[in-house]
Structure 1
């Protein structure tokens, strides 16, 4: 699974009213061969609590994909 899919599952747990511990238990039961850390789940819950509901990756600074030359 990629990061976006994990974020969607964490968001699902959050919207269902589960806390971070219950979310970790549910994720471990549903996807047993992946090891999501407690800190990852806590960080995602913190973002969700602050109203950041987007599950996409954020923009990063750095080199643009296309170069514009005059």
Structure 2
């Protein structure tokens, strides 16, 4: 599974009222080889608690993936 799908499952656990330990236990039972770490689950629970229910990555500042210069154009 990819990160986006795990975020949706973490959100599902949050909405169902499970705590982070219960969510980690459930994910370990269902996906033993690819479960995200405890800190990742805590991060997303904190985000959902703040009211941000999006499972998308936020924008990051910094260098873009592609740089356009006069030579490239």
TM-score range, shorter chain: 0.7 to 0.9
CA RMSD of aligned residues (A): 1.8
Q: Give 2:41's aligned residue.
A: 41
Return the index of the structure with the highest Cα Rg.
2
Q: TM-score, normalised by structure 1?
A: 0.83
Q: Deviations over 1:13-47 (max 9, x none)?
A: 00010000000000011111114211111111000
Q: TM-score, normalised by structure 2?
A: 0.80
Q: Give 1:23's aligned residue.
A: 23
How far residue 66 of structure 1 moved from its aligned partner, in angstroms, is 8.4
Aligned residues between the structures:
68
Q: What stretches of structure 1 of length at least 5 have no aligned partner?
A: none
Q: Give 1:60's aligned residue.
A: 60
Q: Give 1:51's aligned residue.
A: 51
Q: What stretches of structure 2 of length at least 5 have no aligned partner?
A: none
Q: Give 1:4's aligned residue.
A: 4
Poorly superposed stretches of 4+, deviation over 6 Å = none
